[in-house]
Amino acid sequence: MQQVDLTNVTIVLKGPKFPGNVGSAARCAMNMGIGSLIVVGNRDLDDEAMRQMATHESKRIIDGMRHFDTLDEALAEFNWVVGTTARQGSGRGPAVSPRRMAAELTAVSEANRIALLFGPEDRGLTNDDLRFCQTVVTIPTSGFKSLNLSHAVMIVCYELFVARLDEPAKPLPKLASSRELEGMYTQLKAILQAIGFLNPENPDYWMMHIRRLLARTTLQAREVKIIRGICRQIEWYGDHKERNE
């Protein structure tokens, strides 16, 4: 049987408001075999409160916890980002259940670093946050959708922990990092705006759909370079044609 390689999985908490939730998330991660935690923003969390909720065994996750000021910095080195949300909509991308997500990540996890991204307790992840994500997860509930942050972390981590494939899936090769993808998307957006493809009133809405389309192709670094090369050639052609008119 093939399992998710949990050593390649990191919990990423964006803007958590309560130190107890961070400590509880660390405890959940430790319970399910995940040993890495990142906090984005909010550097003022009370260390002792985090440690109390983490309990003795998972305090080492708090000790090794990394801080970043922005989400793009925190996710730069990851190859696959899973975003969690209770809210759905056309601008947020198609969402899957934690169980389906776990099955899909079995092949991804062998050669790629995975980030499990959770938003602040009161607002969750924004549409702009979800643009980094190759997979969007919604936890099914019976009507009332609000979950405590640590509960959401536990459910997602549990599904990864128990995921098994009876037939080993072909491992995916090393994919492009978030930093490489964001550079490509920035360049692609500029080119599509220049040629009038994107609606100038809401370019990010259409870019989100383009991101979802390309995310399904599991881009490798060399393929990102090819797309960026095409963008540069389109830009050169436009400049060359303008000079000769």
pLDDT (tens digit per residue) in 47-79: 999 999 988 888 899 999 999 999 999 999 999
Helix, strand or coil, per DSSP, at residue 117: strand
Q: Do both 135 and 186 map to the same domain?
A: no
Residue type, 52: Q
Taking the C-alpha atoms of residue 81 and residue 22, their distance in angstroms, rounded to an integer, is 19
Q: Do both 87 and 196 map to the same domain?
A: no
Is 170 domain-assigned?
Answer: no
Q: Do both 103 and 158 map to the same domain?
A: yes
User: What's the predicted TM-score (pTM) here?
Assistant: 0.86
Domain that holds residue 136: 2-165
Domain end: 122, 138, 165, which one? 165
Phi, psi dihedrals of residue 202, rounded to the nearest 5°: -155, 65
- Whether 13 and 118 have beta carbons less than 8 Å apart is answered as yes
Taking the C-alpha atoms of residue 216 and residue 200, their distance in angstroms, rounded to an integer, is 26
Q: Do both 190 and 152 map to the same domain?
A: no
Count CB atoms within 10 A of the CB of residue 202: 11
pLDDT (tens digit per residue) in 141-200: 887 777 899 999 999 999 999 987 666 667 788 999 999 999 999 999 999 998 889 888
Instruction: Name the domain count of the chain.
Output: 2
Q: Do both 96 and 217 map to the same domain?
A: no
Rounded to the nearest 10 degrees, what angle do helices 19-31 and 47-54 cross at? Answer: 30
Q: Looking at residue 135, which CATH number applies to its domain?
A: 3.40.1280.10
Is 106 domain-assigned?
Answer: yes
Is 85 domain-assigned?
Answer: yes
Report the candidate in 211, 208, 154 with the shortest Cα–Cα distance to residue 181: 211
Is 171 domain-assigned?
Answer: no
